[in-house]
Structure 1
């Protein structure tokens, strides 16, 4: 966010803080004046000022102070009380005829009520201001962390394309973001303990990030981590005891325009009728995750004409996106292979992601040479480093 915008927000916060600090005092004063003083006394004070003003201007005769319209019994606080009438010295605390504890037009019960109301109002305003300040500080920290994450991603946009895509999808929680690395959790909800994306400039920075986020250790230990860089992955593996390791190439697709399609296949989103086939043929995701991917429309099924008429179709395979957003789940059934269908499915998925305003990327297992050749044929850009997926087997989980 631009620095000027942050400065303007800071000025508005300071003005709001000053207002909320002064307002309770003013509110108490108003409560005290309008509710603690009886209506009769207010009217008497106003009448006294009106009469004196007329006397000064010569528009009215001087008023006898003993005619009942006014009293100057308290005009001289140092006067002789012995000369005052007894009724002036008699303060009535009994409540009077109306039950109001009144002393010369002053209601003590109402004053206490006004004081309590003003105090309650001050507390409410203080709590609201404190909550608002906390929200604003959280927002400022989030903006700063997001800016730091974007700066780190710019160092190698291809290698960190998955970070950029997750930020674009707004399905993340930034656990750490600075010039030395990023720790981010996928909040899409496909995995129980979430998927973490981790990157650091070196092993020392990786250790620093882990020590700065102790509250994430349990989920990282029992969840899945996508770590960028084999040396960084080795440090995390030793720290958490991961025993399931998959090393991948990260490839990014950045065509100037959508890839051409041959038009021989028809695509539709997977639904319940495809679910059983997908569960029986794909084993790199759990059945629970596959069900969620199908329900959210993240998997596409492809159909090819069964004859020249085109009326009959064959379900030849499927493709989709993994929970974190990478392309994958590509499978062509054995009887339909070697017809160029895999390239058609890949091109379709790339175009679909481009249409969403995102950058398509994929993780290719390092020994999957056929898939790697296909990506190169489609013009994929290979990242400078490798991405290592790590998790603990069920026997080693807490």
Structure 2
């Protein structure tokens, strides 16, 4: 089923980069791959992901999810399936986003201005104060898993970046007093290099209305999907 899933997903490579990477990295529980549609559960995060070339096969896969009691988050690749998921599963749209991925043959050159390393757990409170999507306990969990890195000038924390549970690059923030110096580029280029050297395709999910971040991705040499995806969550 993995081969069939990748065949469908690679028909629209950039749109489906998160799903194909979940399969490639061995983190996908593939629930269905037929009729030009794929449904999988990303094992590390528990997020369900749905791609459908056409509406009808996608709707059928949404009905499959009615049989599951652990659907807390779902990404879909069609606006009509987003609306159907809200109606059928009681989920709500969290954000609309573009996939970006680094497809070049070598990673971007690091600027070398920051020392980038795993931050101490004592900094978890500071990081949580500057990143609204994680609390202090969650920050510590990311640090312990090796999924969060800080950029330092001497002993001063300049910013941080990490990896979301489903494998995308994110959690990027530069502290206010250090902004407008290009440090976001330094931090993300570090993560791209890290994933590249691990044999992964580095990718991220950028909100469609975040032009500042989309501009950064272009500077980094990331390729952007033409079509957006939709992230739904239970509230």
Q: TM-score, normalization: structure 1?
A: 0.56
The aligned length equals: 235
Cross-structure match for 2:82: 233
Aligned partners of 1:178 and 1:286: how far apart in 2? 39
Aligned partners of 1:292 and 1:203: how far apart in 2? 38
Note the aligned Cα RMSD (angstroms): 1.7
Unpaired segments ≥5 residues, structure 1: 1-144, 305-311, 394-398
Cross-structure match for 1:162: 18
Cross-structure match for 2:37: 181
Cα distance, 1:252 vs structure 2: 1.1
Cross-structure match for 2:48: 196
Please identify the structure whose Cα radius of gyration is greater: 1
**Contact 1:271–1:295 (CA under 8 A) maintained in structure 2:** no
Unpaired segments ≥5 residues, structure 2: none
* 1:333-372 to 2 correspondences below 5 Å: 333-372=175-214
Cα gap change, 1:271/1:173 in structure 2, threshold over 3 Å: closer, same or farther?
Answer: farther
Report whether the alignment pairs 1:256 with 2:115: no
Report whether the alignment pairs 1:280 with 2:117: no
**Contact 1:202–1:232 (CA under 8 A) maintained in structure 2:** no
Larger % of strand: which? 2
**Contact 2:28–2:43 (CA under 8 A) maintained in structure 1:** yes
Report whether the alignment pairs 1:149 with 2:5: yes
Report whether the alignment pairs 1:382 with 2:231: no
**Contact 2:128–2:134 (CA under 8 A) maintained in structure 1:** no
Cα distance, 1:206 vs structure 2: 1.2
Larger % of helix: which? 1
Question: CA-to-partner distance for each residue in 1:178-235, whole Å, 9 max, x for gaps?
Answer: 24211111221x5xxx21111111221112123345432x222xx0111122222122
Cross-structure match for 2:60: 208
Which deviates more, 327-336 or 260-269?
260-269
Aligned partners of 1:287 and 1:244: how far apart in 2? 25
Aligned partners of 1:157 and 1:244: how far apart in 2? 23
Q: TM-score, normalization: structure 2?
A: 0.93
Aligned partners of 2:135 and 2:150: how far apart in 1? 19
SS in 1 for 2:67: helix
Question: CA-to-partner distance for each residue in 1:292-351, whole Å, 9 max, x for gaps?
Answer: 2221000110012xxxxxxx4321010011110111100000000011111111111111
Question: CA-to-partner distance for each residue in 1:65-87, whole Å, 9 max, x for gaps?
Answer: xxxxxxxxxxxxxxxxxxxxxxx
Cα gap change, 1:381/1:173 in structure 2, threshold over 3 Å: closer, same or farther?
Answer: same
Cross-structure match for 1:325: 167
Cα distance, 1:285 vs structure 2: 3.7
Which fold has the larger relative contact order, with Cα–Cα distance below 8 Å and residues 6 or more apart in sequence?
2
Cα gap change, 1:367/1:328 in structure 2, threshold over 3 Å: closer, same or farther?
Answer: same
Cα distance, 1:275 vs structure 2: 1.5
SS in 1 for 2:188: helix
Aligned partners of 1:252 and 1:324: how far apart in 2? 15
* 1:284-323 to 2 correspondences below 5 Å: 284-285=133-134, 287-304=136-153, 312-323=154-165
Aligned partners of 1:353 and 1:271: how far apart in 2? 22
SS in 1 for 2:227: strand
Cross-structure match for 1:75: none
Cα gap change, 1:197/1:288 in structure 2, threshold over 3 Å: closer, same or farther?
Answer: farther
Question: CA-to-partner distance for each residue in 1:40-78, whole Å, 9 max, x for gaps?
Answer: xxxxxxxxxxxxxxxxxxxxxxxxxxxxxxxxxxxxxxx
User: Which residue, 216, 219, 226 being the options, matches 2:70?
Assistant: 219
